[in-house]
């Protein structure tokens, strides 16, 4: 394991559970220091930190509501503090905009409040948190935004959610262009149907739905958290440094 000052550091929003937790564990196993955020799951976040540290890695958890931009200034200062105190660093190497929420409702029944909640977390939060963190992100660093296969294929009940993710995908291309002068690469990873607790664990816990979705996947099953964590680790590896402005879908070939 690298010493702290030589260790790359990743900030993963929503890293206390689900896919974010797996991303944190996979990156830590490859020698990356982790700053993960949580909104309400302080105990879950502490458990992830403990697991990383037990394996010889370094991690710290910070509270953050990605849907409330008013807290971003204080959060960035907390990141600066923990970079120095915990890692002996002044800059982040990687930013993974992963935090999210799901609302499944038909287009006809979507309320403005539901639309705003999704927009604040997925699109506005990603836009302005990334903006505020730019001074803390190292030149030559990486940004990885998490989208969804639902921005490409359609299932009823996800119109508002997919609209936000499509916005994130457009934002990714603009960031790649505008941050290229700093050698910062920016990509988007779009998971397909994955067995996690997202959306109440419906893909993971509903056998009939799981089977139906798996029939739409070229590789014959829905995704597992490891599939997405491995893809994140691959996209943040040195070998992927020349990839920027791209949408990579990790779905096993869903809805081809």
Catalytic positions: 161
Q: Under a CB-based contact definition with an 8 Å cutoff, are residues 91 and 138 in contact?
A: yes
How far lies 216's CA from each of 22, 151, 153, 197, 209, in Å? 24, 16, 11, 21, 11
d(CA 119, CA 164): 6
How crowded is residue 42: how many other Cβ atoms within 10 Å of its Cβ?
12
How crowded is residue 62: how many other Cβ atoms within 10 Å of its Cβ?
17
How far lies 217's CA from each of 75, 129, 232, in Å? 39, 34, 20
Q: Under a CB-based contact definition with an 8 Å cutoff, are residues 96 and 126 in contact?
A: no
Q: Under a CB-based contact definition with an 8 Å cutoff, are residues 91 and 132 in contact?
A: no
List, in sequence order, every beta strand (DSSP E) within 16-124: 33-38, 59-63, 92-97
């Amino acid at each position: 394991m690298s010493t702290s000052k030589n260790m790359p550091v990743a900030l993963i929003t929503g890293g206390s559970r689900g896919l974010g937790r797996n991303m944190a564990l996979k990156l830590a196993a490859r020698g990356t220091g982790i700053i993960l955020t949580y909104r309400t799951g302080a105990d879950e976040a502490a458990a992830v930190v403990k697991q990383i540290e037990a394996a010889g890695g370094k991690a710290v958890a910070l509270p953050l509501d990605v849907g409330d931009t008013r807290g971003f200034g204080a959060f960035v200062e907390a990141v600066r503090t923990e970079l120095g105190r915990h890692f002996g660093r002044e800059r982040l190497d990687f930013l993974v905009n992963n935090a999210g929420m799901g609302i499944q409702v038909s287009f006809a029944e979507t309320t403005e409040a539901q639309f705003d909640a999704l927009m604040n977390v997925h699109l506005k939060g990603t836009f302005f948190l990334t903006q505020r963190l730019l001074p803390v992100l190292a030149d030559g660093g990486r940004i990885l935004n998490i989208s969804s296969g639902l921005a490409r294929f359609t299932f009823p009940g996800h119109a508002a959610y997919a609209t936000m993710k499509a916005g994130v995908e457009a934002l990714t291309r603009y960031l790649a262009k505008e941050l290229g002068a700093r050698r910062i690469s920016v990509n988007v990873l779009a998971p397909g149907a994955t067995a996690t607790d997202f959306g109440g664990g419906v893909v993971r816990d509903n056998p009939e739905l799981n089977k139906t979705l798996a029939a739409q996947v070229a590789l014959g099953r829905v995704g597992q958290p490891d599939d997405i964590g491995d893809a994140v680790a691959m996209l943040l590896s040195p070998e992927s440094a020349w990839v920027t402005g791209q949408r990579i879908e990790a779905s096993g070939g869903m809805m081809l």
